[in-house]
Structure 1
Amino acid sequence: MSRLNLEQLPDVILTLDFGGSGTKGIVQIKGGRPYSIWMEPAVIEATPASLGFQTRNLGNAYPENTAWVGIDDDYRAVGYLARSSYGATPGLRPRKFELAVYKTLAVVWVIKQKYKLPESFQISLALLLPPGEFEDSALLKPMLKDALIEFDTPTGILNASLVGYECFPEGAGIYAMYCKNTGEAIRRKVIAIVMLGYRNASVIISRRGILNRGKTTNLGMAKMVEKVMERTSGLEVEQLTEAIVNAAFELKPQHFYSICTSNSHQDSDVEKIISAVSTSRAEYVIMLANWLKEVLPHPNELDELIICGGTADYLRTELDDMFPVTPIEWHGGVEIPQSLNEKWLGNRLADVWALSVYHRIKVKTITRGVEEKITE
């Protein structure tokens, strides 16, 4: 790459997925290799005075755990700080774009801290939204552009210039990489991309290479956790979710003892939790299967299924049973580089990683075009 081309690249190329279980991102600093980033999903209002008090922890904690942002008079704690100091919940009810600005600004500040960037730099963004909320992307761009120009952070005012912006429906990153690997055959197939996350379930259909707008429902894994919570008492959502995922099919007492709040009735409480998880999982699978039956093409018409998302791994056996005839490509065949998996997110990074590959190539292609015009 020529020196001129390198200078034209933005300082930061960032791809984000605003998942219900956490904000996942792939970041590449100019001249560096890609890195993954993850922040807890909570966002909550807070006063500048209260947030200013939190800066005492800056030297002792990772920036992901001390993030807050201020846009004019609107101040928000984000991620771990929002949950631990202000009791914020994951925020699954609002549409993702409503909190995306604060989450994006927080990630940008974290990147600035981790990679020792100056207070002013250029950034190119690629974002993922559920297909059912994709129209919100038109609202999100001007909001982000204005907010990034000047916002408050734990280390002072930060100025980021948005020089590139793209937004895609969830599953688009995996689909783009699948198309690249499949080649011409994509134009002859009917393929469904099923994205199963913590908050949402989404489906996009590709008919001979032409994508539809897709559909989204609130049947992410949070629906199952909600059902378990209704059948039990005294449990924390985050701890329960982690225990359920760790237990998988082996619903053994040792997976749930640590989340019980009662010492005197621990054995009976664990037995009740196991029963609730088993019943709720069966109900959740039925609900998800009924929805997929409504939105997917008939099995005789469908050539292949791409199933992805963290919940997909948890329900892999049931999903295999749902589609006994249709070939399934799990996570679109996307392989996560080991260097990006330091937070053990595994396949939950597949969509945002695949989209980041596309985004970086596009940014460099555009930059190369700018270089050619300059040198003409």
Structure 2
Amino acid sequence: LDSGKTSDLGMVRMIETVMTKTSGLSESDLCRTIVASGYDINPTPLYKLTRSATVAARNEEVTTLVTAIKEARNLYIATLISWLNNVLPRDVDEIVFCGGTADYLKKELNSRYSATPCIWHGGVIVPDAVDTYKLGTRLTDAYGMFLYFMSGSSSVGEVA
């Protein structure tokens, strides 16, 4: 694997796609609510984003949001997998996925890479003293790299 490969494929790209299919919703509100609605898209949290006065109109807004989230997620995972297929060698022994987006897309990533062991968060546990905003696994990628660089080790697993 070439060092220095990166992309701008963070979950914000998926959120931006949802924003193009809806109107007037902020990135932060959408992200928080999409995560709260979960992978199966429980519509209940989405009602917090509705602005209509009638129940029927709010239901329609939620239906639009659910459709937008599903379409954006499908596009996002297709784009992410395409990028991974271009940068990952065919003969890797394992793939380490980290961060909140990895959790959100775990089902698709496990399915796509079922022939390769997928390691989730690489054994990195972010201490409460570091995770003061309770971001959980959203910090594992950054914290794992921090541990790696601070240790001077050749393996994050040696310091996690």
TM-score, length-normalised on structure 1?
A: 0.37
**CA 1:302–1:238: 2 relative to 1, 3 Å:** same
Matching residue within 210, 216, 225 for 2:15:
225
**CA 1:297–1:221: 2 relative to 1, 3 Å:** same
Matching residue within 305, 318, 327 for 2:117:
327
Matching residue within 51, 58, 64 for 1:272:
64
The 2-side partners of 1:354 and 1:221 are apart by 19
**CA 1:343–1:302: 2 relative to 1, 3 Å:** same
Q: Does 1:239 align with 2:29?
A: yes
Structure 1 partner of 2:45: 255
> Cα RMSD (Å) of the superposition?
2.0
Structure 1 partner of 2:131: 341
Task: Say whether the 8 Å CA contact 2:96–2:120 is kept in structure 1.
Answer: yes
Q: Does 1:306 align with 2:111?
A: no
**CA 1:361–1:288: 2 relative to 1, 3 Å:** closer
What amino acid is the match of 1:353?
Answer: Y
Structure 1 partner of 2:86: 294
The 1-side partners of 2:95 and 2:13 are apart by 23
**CA 1:225–1:358: 2 relative to 1, 3 Å:** closer
Flag as ranges the 4+ runs of structure 1 deviating above 6 A: none
**CA 1:357–1:280: 2 relative to 1, 3 Å:** closer
**CA 1:324–1:253: 2 relative to 1, 3 Å:** same
- Per-residue CA distance 1:308-367 (angstroms, 9 max, x = gap): 1221111111110110111112111112223433421112222443444456567xxxxx
Structure 2 partner of 1:81: none
Task: Say whether the 8 Å CA contact 1:235–1:260 is kept in structure 2.
Answer: no
More strand by share: 1
- Per-residue CA distance 1:192-221 (angstroms, 9 max, x = gap): xxxxxxxxxxxxx3xxxxxx3232222211
Report SS of the residue matched to 1:273.
helix
Q: Per-residue deviation at 1:247? A: 1.1
Report SS of the residue matched to 1:347.
helix
The 2-side partners of 1:358 and 1:318 are apart by 28
Task: Say whether the 8 Å CA contact 2:14–2:72 is kept in structure 1.
Answer: yes
Task: Say whether the 8 Å CA contact 1:234–1:260 is kept in structure 2.
Answer: no
What amino acid is the match of 1:228?
Answer: V
**CA 1:357–1:286: 2 relative to 1, 3 Å:** closer
Q: Per-residue deviation at 1:269? A: 0.6
Residue identity over aligned pairs, in percent, reads: 37
**CA 1:262–1:236: 2 relative to 1, 3 Å:** farther
TM-score, length-normalised on structure 2?
A: 0.83
**CA 1:226–1:354: 2 relative to 1, 3 Å:** closer
Name structure 1 gaps, 5 residues minimum: 1-204, 206-211, 363-376
The 2-side partners of 1:348 and 1:251 are apart by 19
What amino acid is the match of 2:119?
Answer: E
- Counterparts of 1:25-174 in structure 2, within 5 Å, are none
The 1-side partners of 2:41 and 2:103 are apart by 16
- Per-residue CA distance 1:110-153 (angstroms, 9 max, x = gap): xxxxxxxxxxxxxxxxxxxxxxxxxxxxxxxxxxxxxxxxxxxx
More helix by share: 2
Structure 2 partner of 1:190: none
Name structure 2 gaps, 5 residues minimum: 153-160
Task: Say whether the 8 Å CA contact 2:92–2:116 is kept in structure 1.
Answer: yes
Which deviates further from its counterpart, 212-221 or 251-260? 212-221
